Amino acid sequence: MADELVLLDFWHSPFAMRVRIALAEKGIEYESREEDLSNKSSLLLKMNPVYKQIPVLIHRGRPVCESLIIVEYIDEVWPHKSPLRLLPSSPYDKANAMFWADYVDKKIYPSGKLVWGATGEVQEAAKKEMIENLKELEGELGDKPYFGGESFGFTDVALIPFYTWFYALETCGDFSIIEECPKLVAWTKRCMQRESVSKSLPDQYKVYCFLMELKNKFEAK
Amino acid sequence: MEDEVVLLDFWPSSFAMRVKIALGEKGIKYECKQEDLFNKSPLLLQMNPIHQKIPVLIHNGNPISESLIILQYIDKVWNHKSPLLPSDPYRRSQSVFWADYIDKKMYGIVRRIWMGKEDQEEAKEELMQCLKTLEGELGDKLYFGGESIGLVDVALVPFTTWFYTCERCGDFSIEAGCPKLVAWAKRCKENYQSVSDALPHPHQIYDYVLQLKKKLELA
- C-alpha to C-alpha distance for B178 and A170, rounded to whole angstroms: 48
With beta carbons under 8 A apart, name residues in chain A contacting B92. 73, 76
Considering only CA atoms, which of B41, B9, B40, B12 is closest in space to residue B212? B12
The pLDDT value recorded for residue A1 is: 43
pLDDT, tens digit (0-9, with 9 covering 90-100), for A150-204: 999 999 999 999 999 999 999 999 999 999 999 999 999 999 999 999 999 999 9
pLDDT of residue A82: 62
Cβ–Cβ contacts within 10 Å for residue A115, how many? Answer: 26
Could you report the per-residue pLDDT of A40-64, keeping only the tens digit for each? 999 999 999 999 999 999 999 999 9
The alpha-carbon gap from B93 to the nearest alpha carbon of chain A, in Å, equals 6
Contact B100 A92 (CB under 8 A): no
Instruction: For A167-181, give one letter per residue: b (16+ CB within 10 A) or e.
Output: bbbbbbbeeebeebb
What residues pair up with A65 in beta bridges, in sequence order?
A56
* Cα dist from A178 to A125, A140, A189, A218, B116, whole Å: 20, 17, 11, 30, 45
Q: CA B196 to CA B182: how far, in whole Å? A: 15
Q: Could you give the percent of chain A with pLDDT greater than 90?
A: 93
Confidence (pLDDT) at B2: 80
CA–CA min distance B178, chain A (Å) = 18
**Chain B partners of A64 at a C-beta cutoff of 8 Å?**
90, 93, 97
Question: What letter does residue B159 receive in the DSSP assignment?
Answer: G
Tell me which chain B residues have a C-beta less than 8 angstroms from the C-beta of A65: 97
ipTM over 0.90: yes
Pair B102, B159: CB distance under 8 Å: yes
User: What is the nearest CA distance from A105 to chain B, expressed in angstroms?
Assistant: 12
Chain A residues with beta carbon closer than 8 angstroms to that of B93? 64, 69-70, 72-73
* Distances from the Cα of A61 to the Cα of A77, B33, B114, B130, angstroms: 15, 47, 42, 26
| Number of inter-chain CB pairs under 8 A, A vs B | 50
The pLDDT mean for chain A works out to: 95
Confidence class for position A81, pLDDT limits 50, 70, 90: low
3-class secondary-structure state, position A6:
strand
Do residues A68 and A77 touch, judged by C-beta distance below 8 A?
no
Residue B201, min C-alpha distance to chain A (Å): 31
Q: Which of B76, B92, B100 sits opposite A91 (nearest CB)?
A: B76
pTM: 0.96
CB contact under 8 A, B77 and A91: yes
Mean pLDDT by groups of 10 residues along chain B of 219 residues: 92 98 98 96 97 98 98 97 96 98 97 96 98 97 97 98 97 96 98 98 98 82
What SS3 string covers A64-101? EECHHHHHHHHHHHCHHHCCCCCCCCCHHHHHHHHHHH
pLDDT at B219: 44
Residues of B in contact with A59 (CB under 8 A): 90
Say how far apart CA B94 and CA B143 lie, in whole Å.
14
Nearest to A50 among B89, B93, B101 (CB): B101
For residues B114 and B171, give the distance between their C-alpha atoms in angstroms, rounded to a whole number: 10
**Of B149, B190, B165, B215, nearest in space to B12 by CA:** B165
> Hey, of A69, A85, A94, which one would you mutate to test binding to chain B, going by the most B CBs within 10 A of its CB?
A69
Q: How confident is the model at residue A205 (pLDDT cuts 50, 70, 90)?
A: very high
List alpha helices for chain B, DSSP H.
Answer: 14-26, 42-47, 67-77, 89-115, 120-138, 151-156, 163-170, 174-177, 179-191, 193-198, 202-218
